[in-house]
């Protein structure tokens, strides 16, 4: 089994981004388990072509969850820092230099909290 660190994160992000039902909860096929299973198999084949499909799917899903969670934490920190009353130092203190931050901005609208 290949280690999770060998997954090309940029390739994984691109593969998931073009398969909207995997990340957009409001998509009509998001709740269809068969569709999502097939899409994750496609993602795994694209990202880890020389790994057993079942193992590759698990690895891709685990890495995706890690990337998504890190993005959510950074996005929340940025939005909290920009709230009314936040000083310039607070806004500038949030480090968004994480290499995948901009690549994952397509998730922003799905992660905005309700008022």
- Asked if residue 60 lies in contact with residue 4, where contact means CB atoms within 8 angstroms, the answer is no
* Residue 104 placed within a domain: yes
Domain that holds residue 8: 4-108
Q: Is residue 82 part of a domain?
A: yes
Residue 1: what pLDDT?
47
- Model pTM? 0.84
Structural domain contains residue 28: yes
pLDDT in tens, 43-83: 999 999 999 999 999 999 999 999 999 999 999 888 887 77
Tell me if 26 is assigned to some domain.
yes
The answer to whether residue 87 sits within a structural domain is yes
Has residue 18 been placed in a domain?
yes
Q: Are 39 and 72 in contact (CB under 8 A)?
A: no
8 A C-beta contact, residue 4 and residue 62: yes
Q: Looking at the 3D structure of the chain, how many domains does it have?
A: 1
> Mind listing the pLDDT tens digit for each residue in 21-42?
999 999 999 999 999 999 999 9
Q: Is residue 113 one of the residues assigned to a domain?
A: no
Of the candidates 56, 53, 65, 57, the one whose C-alpha atom is nearest the C-alpha of residue 23 is 65
Q: Cβ(19)–Cβ(42) under 8 Å?
A: yes
For residue 115, being part of any structural domain is answered with: no
State both tokens at 18: 């073009």
């Amino acid at each position: 089994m290949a280690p999770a660190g060998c997954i090309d994160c940029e390739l994984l992000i691109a593969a998931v981004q073009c398969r909207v039902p995997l990340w957009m909860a409001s998509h009509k096929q998001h709740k269809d388990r068969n569709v999502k299973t097939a899409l994750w198999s496609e993602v795994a084949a694209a990202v880890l072509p020389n790994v057993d499909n079942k193992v590759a799917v698990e690895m891709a899903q685990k890495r995706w969850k890690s990337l998504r969670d890190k993005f959510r934490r950074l996005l929340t920190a940025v939005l909290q820092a920009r709230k009314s009353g936040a000083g310039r130092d607070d806004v500038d203190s949030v480090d968004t230099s994480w290499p995948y931050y901009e690549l994952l901005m397509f998730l922003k609208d799905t992660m905005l909290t309700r008022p």
